[in-house]
């Protein structure tokens, strides 16, 4: 769904859905990368990245569902 900056056919919810998808992809990449490196600090960073993106994804899901926090 990669929209061009001048594409006005997409609304805020479309953009939010695209960003949420990208966050899921970052979580998958970060988690799969943990076992690929030996550096414990990098492993912790990747896990922290995954957890932060999961939290952001939850916020985007709440927005998409129009939950009270976003009214």
pLDDT at 6: 55
In a domain, 7, yes or no: no
Task: Determine, yes or no, domain membership for 1.
Answer: no
57 in a structural domain: yes
Confidence of residue 54 (pLDDT cuts 50, 70, 90): very high
The total number of structural domains in the chain stands at 1
Range of the domain at 48: 12-66
Q: Quick check: is 58 in a domain? A: yes
Q: What is the pLDDT of residue 71?
A: 66
Asked if the structure places residue 5 within a domain, the reply is no
Task: Give the Cβ contact number of residue 50 at 10 Å.
Answer: 20
> Is the Cβ–Cβ distance between 57 and 20 less than 8 Å?
yes
Q: pLDDT per residue over 2-50, tens digit each?
A: 555 555 678 999 999 999 999 999 999 999 999 999 999 999 999 999 9
Q: Which pLDDT does position 7 carry in this prediction?
A: 56
């Amino acid at each position: 769904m990669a929209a061009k900056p001048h594409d006005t056919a997409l609304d805020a919810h479309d953009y939010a859905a695209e960003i949420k998808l990208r966050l899921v992809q970052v979580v998958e990449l970060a988690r799969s990368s943990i076992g690929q490196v030996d550096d414990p600090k990098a492993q912790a960073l990747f896990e922290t990245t995954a957890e932060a993106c999961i939290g952001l994804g939850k916020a985007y899901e709440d927005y998409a569902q129009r939950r009270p926090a976003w009214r």
